Copies of this chain bind each other. A is one copy, B any other.
Amino acid sequence: MKRSNVSNNVIRRLPRYLRKLDDLAGKGEERISSDKLGRQMGLTPSQIRQDFSCFGEFGQQGYGYNIDSLRKEIGQILGTYRGYSAILVGAGKLGTALVQNFDFIIEGYTFLGAFDIDPEIIGTRIDGFPVYDVAQLGDFVREHKVDIAILTVPRHAAQTLTDILREAGIRAIWNFTNTELEVGEDGPLVESIHFSDSFLVLTYHLAQEDDREKQ
C-alpha cells in the first residue's frame, strides 16, 4: 500500500468519505461512480480518484466503486478495528458527553475508563466505565499501555496533565482544552478540537456578509 507523503488535506478528507459511504450503504446502495460521489460531496471526480490513488487502486474504470469494499479499505487506512485503547482525562460534562456518544466515534477501539480530580466523582461510573483518581493516571497509562488520552480538563491544568501523559508514554492526545499543548520533538501525536476557532470562522463569515451589505 502506497502511503508516503500523503497530504494533510487528503488525510482529513478520508473520514468524510467514510461517513458518506456509511450513509450510502445505509440506503442500500452497492456501487457509486466517482462522478456521482463527487457531486454529492462537492469534489471533482478527478480529485476523488487522486485522493484514493495515494493508497492504491480502489475502483475499476467504468464500473465505479464497490461501496462496501471501499468502506473497508478506508476504515482500515484510518485505523478502525485495530483495538486502540483510550482513556478520558477530565470527567466533566464535555468529557462525559463524549464518552456517552463514543460509539459514533470509532469502531473497534477499547475504552478503559476516566480520570478526574473531584473526590465526588472518583469511584463512580460513567456509562459503566470506572472513574479513577487522576493521581493514578501515570501508573495506569504505563501499566495498560494506553494509546489515546482524551483531554477534557480545564485550560489551566492542560499542560501539567500533558506532561504526565507524555512521561508515562501515551501515544496520542485528543485535545479539547482550547490551548496548544507542548509535547516536544518525540512527544505524543496531538489532534486538537478548538471550539473557539470553529465558532470564530462562523462569525468571520457573518461579519463579512454584514460588511458587504453595508457597502
Contact = CB atoms under 8 A, between A and B. Distances in A.
A78 interface: yes
A12 B106 CA distance: 26
A100 interface: yes
A199 B105 contact: yes
Given A80-B200, A193-B198, A195-B193, A205 B172 contact: yes
Interface in A97-136: 97-98, 100-101, 104-106, 109
Given A79-B207, A97-B94, A206-B189, A11 B201 contact: yes
Given A193-B198, A195-B104, A196-B104, A204 B14 contact: yes
27 contacts: A14-B200, A15-B194, A15-B200, A16-B197, A19-B179, A19-B180, A78-B200, A79-B200, A79-B203, A80-B200, A82-B203, A82-B206, A84-B203, A84-B206, A93-B94, A93-B100, A94-B94, A94-B98, A97-B97, A106-B200, A147-B206, A148-B203, A172-B206, A174-B199, A191-B201, A191-B202, A193-B193
